[in-house]
Structure 1
Amino acid sequence: MNSSFFNQIKSHPLYARSQHWTGLISISGTAQVFIMLISLASGILVIRLLSTEEYALYTLANTMLGTIIALANAGIPIGVMSEGGKVWKDKKKMGMVFVTAFELRKIFGLVSLLIGIPILIYLLRLNGASWTMSVLIMIGLIPAFFSQISNSILEIAPKLTQHVVPLQKNQLAINAGRLVLLILLIFLFPFAYIAIIASTLPQVWGNIRLKKITNSSVDWEQQSDSEIKLRLVAKTKRILPEAIFYCLSGQLTVWLLSLFGSTDSVAQIGALGRLAMVMNIISVLFGMLIAPRFARLEADFSLLKRRYLQALLLVVVLFLGIIGVVYWFPSQILWILGAKYGDLEDEVVLAVIGSSLNLLSGIIYALYSSRGWIINPFLYIAISISSTIIAMLVLDITTLYGVLLLNIAIAVVQVITHYYYGLYKLYALKAES
């Protein structure tokens, strides 16, 4: 009787599917945990060994790096995911998509760099960096910039084909290389530019390895395709205003503190942000396993809506669990950062709430944009600017506490906007069918 019952369960399609997902998530999740732990160890090492002043410069440099990467990408990876999702089984067509994307990437990369460098130098100088230090930081940052904007496109190929193990091995090697270089260098030379260079060199090496990984699914001998370029440019034009807006608002907390706060507050928000980055494992796994599969689903309203809501419910539950842990054990968590940041018990909770909301917003966006659905940028920007101005008028943006509350307020609006836009596109699909 029992044997028959269990055989019926095993023969059910849901059993096979659950077995597949359990294995996939456990393998990917285990690798991602190792990557996260190594990255966290590197980050904590930098936080503990750099002075507050040096860590403030390190925070500004990395914040600007993320900003100009967002500007350089300007929707290109989203377009590649959408285009690649249609032809992921055809190596030659994948080659046409990727070669075309890299042509656009070169142009956007150079423009973004020309915009970002002068602004970063100004902020570094404003927060106490010498000209020599500013130049050394630039030397370390520029190769990292080109490697990361290249990676953001290259990693789409193994994600679409779900060859995630080689991708994760590469990420693991990059993070391990960074940790080794930090251990070798930063104890002797505790400077921001040393920490940046130690991060950059493994990224350049990993970028070369990642290009080789894509060879199994992308034919790099193909030529750029004008029709694909037109479609990518069309998506980029629609996303570009939002990308520009993100460059101004995405790291608004750091920019405000660098202009109106103290150098210490810049270092503090950088340290709290590093701690909150532990949650990136959820976003990374989502982008690696869920979004590409959502992109590949048939245009069936019921199926898409079910997967959309299931994915978001899972993410919300995970984030609530993390927030609960931080709320109950703030002092134990802050111990990781060291005595310099031990009095930020209220701030660490706010930082994790804000990071959770921002990651949730990004996950929702990644989910629906993988289908090629792009929110009207002017509507999104209008909503974001309005909510930001209102929040800035109400809150004290010269303090770390006030800036963290500002971050939460902005993120709440973004989550609501992206969530309902995703639903709107789903119901529009239903109306068309």
Structure 2
Amino acid sequence: MIGLLRRAGVHAAFQVGTQLLSFAAGVLIVRELSTAGYAQYAICTAVLAALLMLSDSGTSATLMARGAALLEDRERFTGLFKAAAVSRWVVSVPVVALGGMWTFFLLTANSASARTSLVCVGLTLVAAFSSLDIALQQVVHRLHLRLGVLRSLAIGQAAFRLALTLLGALLESPGPEYYLAVMAVSALLGNIFIRMASRRYVGGRTPMDRAHLPIYRSSVLKTLPMVALLIAGEQVFLGLISTTGSTEALSTFTALSRFGVVFLVLNSLVSDVAAPIVAHASSNVRAIMVRITATTGGYAALSLVLIGLVWLFSDPILGLLGARFRGLNVELTLVAAGYATYNLGYCLNFLSQARGWLSGSWFYAPLILVWALSTAYAFDLRDSRQVAVAFILQGLVFVITQIVRIYIGIRSIGRA
């Protein structure tokens, strides 16, 4: 237990450093870009995050759940990994293509020229394909508890982005294309680094094990409905703000969301430390629930502390973003609460996927439909405060869905 806490503490310290670098780069981008320019940059990064989630659709979860039992057999583990890579590409190519078209629409709806939109879409797609491969390679290192590789990757990418963002601040008003190019190059270099680090575990000429392809296909079919609806909810939100709200409301919301990076530290602890422990646990309901409850309870408590700190220090935090964000103390706190809610859902999602519990995703459908209709007709999306409240409710829908998935997973153990 002491060794686990020490490892978690070291990992958290590195993640804090990484997120501070990312936060500094993000603040510089907010300050340097115009309202329209930042809205365009934020659209690309939001769509990128959506593409990564949708393209995964249970592949990483299946690799982690099944890979835990094959770590001692390098050939079998490599066959499992290569099957995961093929499954990921089959899903990601059409998803990324559609995502590119959606990004182009959102950009042009937010005052971007056709040329700027095409360049931004191209850079976003480069970052997407590189980041997808990085995500699969990361599972390998999580299973082997090689957190040092993950830390080096994260802090190296963050330092690279900050350095080039500082360079951009010295140039004469670079547009969103420059910062998206930094993101794309960072992803390419990160992919090269982690591929080299993974060779000792999944390198060589071992062929893909085709016997695993139906398993990955089944995982995708079970997970895709919830992930697709989750992404649809996020993208509908962006679309509603872009069409019925205003560019200023979108820019304000996404700028205030910069402070949500603090939750990435907690997410890293869950995905890199807690989830592998849950994956390796025996099929004892009590033992599994103790780990899930302790992780979730700790996550919720820390989230409440972070929301309180955001409220207490909202004035200096807003001062970092620039004069046009002063007075948005309530909006900042509401956005922080929304990120806390959403990321609590991701915490539960990491833990359920670690056990391979993918059923119950359908429950998200009726809830997100009610949320979308309520947002469209009951909220004024030109008002940043109402945008933030709608965001909190969207996160709550995600949390409820993850609780249902864990409940179904626990019941499946009891019936086994």
Q: Give the TM bin, normalised by the shorter chain.
A: over 0.9
Name the SS for the 1:266 alignment partner.
helix
Say if 2:385 is the partner of 1:401.
yes
Note the alpha carbon deviations across 1:229-270, whole angstroms, 9 max, x for none: 110100001111222212211344333211211111111111
Of the three residues 271, 277, 295, the one matched with 1:287 is 271
1:96 to 1:315, Cα distance in 2 relative to 1, 3 A = same
**Structure 2 unpaired stretches of 5+:** none
Distance in 1 between residues matched to 2:354 and 2:391, nearest whole Å: 26
Name the SS for the 1:190 alignment partner.
coil
Q: Match for 2:353: what amino acid?
A: S
Of the three residues 217, 221, 231, the one matched with 1:247 is 231
Distance in 2 between residues matched to 1:430 and 1:108, nearest whole Å: 33
User: Which residue pairs with 1:305 in the alignment?
Assistant: 289
Matches for 1:26-425 after TM superposition, within 5 Å: 26-188=9-171, 189-390=173-374, 392-425=376-409
**Structure 1 unpaired stretches of 5+:** 1-16
TM-score after normalising by structure 2: 0.95
Name the SS for the 2:174 alignment partner.
coil
* Range with greater deviation from structure 2 (271-280 or 37-46): 271-280
* Range with greater deviation from structure 2 (398-407 or 308-317): 398-407
Distance in 1 between residues matched to 2:374 and 2:120, nearest whole Å: 35
Name the SS for the 2:202 alignment partner.
coil
Q: Match for 2:329: what amino acid?
A: E
Distance in 1 between residues matched to 2:217 and 2:374, nearest whole Å: 34
Offset of 1:393 from its aligned partner?
3.7
Name the SS for the 1:250 alignment partner.
helix
Larger radius of gyration: 1
How many residue pairs are counted as aligned between the two chains? 415
After superposition, the CA RMSD in angstroms is: 1.7
Offset of 1:71 from its aligned partner?
1.9
Q: Match for 2:317: what amino acid?
A: I
Note the alpha carbon deviations across 1:379-417, whole angstroms, 9 max, x for none: 322233234434544333342221211111122232133
Task: Report if the CA contact (8 A) 2:341-2:396 is conserved.
Answer: yes
Distance in 2 between residues matched to 1:282 and 1:255, nearest whole Å: 29
* Range with greater deviation from structure 2 (342-351 or 380-389): 380-389
1:240 to 1:40, Cα distance in 2 relative to 1, 3 A = same
1:400 to 1:319, Cα distance in 2 relative to 1, 3 A = same
TM-score after normalising by structure 1: 0.92
Distance in 2 between residues matched to 1:220 and 1:105, nearest whole Å: 20
Task: Report if the CA contact (8 A) 2:360-2:408 is conserved.
Answer: no
